Structures are given as structure tokens and as C-alpha cells.
């Protein structure tokens, strides 16, 4: 690997790992609601939908023991909180689940709550899969959410795919912005 590419990869991985691990990913529950709601509201001005998405994220987080700020950061990167988001490759909904992934998780990707639950389960599975990979395990799990776990395993970490590199950086920045709202 070229030194510049290796350096870029290390910076990107360090930023997400630092943000998530140094913060401890913890805050009071009331802060979570406000930070998530404010973030969703930047993209979707419908108060009822913003409240619903916020509560669905908090429900999935609690039910599956995944950091709600991480779920929110991923959802923001995936769909900007658009219920009807689709991708050119066929990903569906708020968490942009591929139909085959959704089927494997036993959820309907067209149902918004099941989509959020499916995305939460999927990132939880990736966090579990890469938990022993060291300081950058969360970064690798986020990369796997985008590129697939096989690509992360094949490359021994975040694959040097432009889309995945930018995705991991975007999720890290989203996470950092959410933490700033909580800590304000």
C-alpha cells in the first residue's frame, strides 16, 4: 500500500475510533433524545416524523444494546432520515438495507420500524464480528456496514474503496456532531 493511502486510512480509522471510544459513547437519556431529534429535524421538518424516528432509534438502541448516537450517525449517512430513500444498487429505507440483508435479518425493509431494527441488528452483528480487531474495531464495523464484512476481512480493515473511506469519515463526523449536541 502506498504511504499516502496508508496514512489516509490511518487518519480516518483513528478519527472514528477516537470519537467513539474517548467519549465512552455515554450520556444521559434525555440528552440522546434532544440530540437525535435536532439532527433529524435538520433534514425533516415534520415534527411527528422527527419524533417517531427519534423514538424508533432509541427503542432499537435499547432493545439491541447499540449506541443510539452510532445508529443515528449511520442513518444520517445512509438516508438523511428519508423514509423513502433508495439507492441505485437497491438499498431501501432509513438504514438503506439491501433486500437480501433484510431477508437474512428477518425484517421488511419497506417497514420503517423494521428497517431501523434491521439496520441496528446489522451494525450490532458487525460490531460483534470485529470486536477483537483492536482499537479500530468500531471503524471496521462501520466500514462493513457499507462495504460488507467480507471486504473488510479481505483487506484487513477498512477497504481502500473511495465510497467506503468517505462513508466512514462521514459517519465519524456525524457522530462527533451528535456528541457536541449532547455535551452542549
Contact 95, 79 (CB under 8 A): yes
Instruction: Give strand pairing partners of 97.
Output: 92
Which residues have CB under 8 Å from 54's CB, separation 6+? 33, 36, 37, 40
78 catalytically annotated: yes
92 φ, ψ (degrees, to nearest 5): -130, 140
Nearest to 3 by CA among 19, 161, 172, 11: 11
Given 78, 114, 153, 163, the catalytic residue: 78
Catalytic site residues?
78
Amino acid at each position: 500500500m502506498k504511504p499516502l493511502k496508508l496514512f489516509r486510512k490511518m487518519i480516518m480509522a483513528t478519527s472514528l475510533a477516537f470519537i467513539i471510544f474517548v467519549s465512552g459513547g455515554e450520556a444521559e437519556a434525555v440528552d440522546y433524545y434532544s440530540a437525535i431529534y435536532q439532527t433529524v429535524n435538520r433534514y425533516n421538518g415534520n415534527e411527528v416524523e422527527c419524533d417517531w424516528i427519534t423514538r424508533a432509534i432509541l427503542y432499537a438502541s435499547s432493545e439491541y444494546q447499540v449506541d443510539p448516537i452510532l445508529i443515528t450517525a449511520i442513518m444520517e449517512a445512509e438516508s438523511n432520515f428519508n423514509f423513502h430513500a433508495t439507492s441505485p444498487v437497491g438499498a431501501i429505507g432509513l438504514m438503506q438495507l439491501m433486500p437480501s440483508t433484510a431477508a437474512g435479518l428477518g425484517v421488511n425493509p419497506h417497514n420503517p420500524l423494521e428497517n431501523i431494527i434491521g439496520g441496528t441488528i446489522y451494525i450490532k452483528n458487525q460490531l460483534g464480528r470485529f470486536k477483537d480487531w483492536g482499537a479500530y474495531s468500531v471503524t471496521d464495523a462501520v466500514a462493513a456496514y457499507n462495504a460488507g464484512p467480507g471486504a473488510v476481512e479481505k483487506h484487513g480493515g477498512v477497504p481502500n474503496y473511495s465510497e467506503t473511506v468517505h462513508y466512514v469519515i462521514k459517519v465519524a463526523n456525524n457522530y462527533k456532531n451528535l456528541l457536541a449536541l449532547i455535551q452542549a
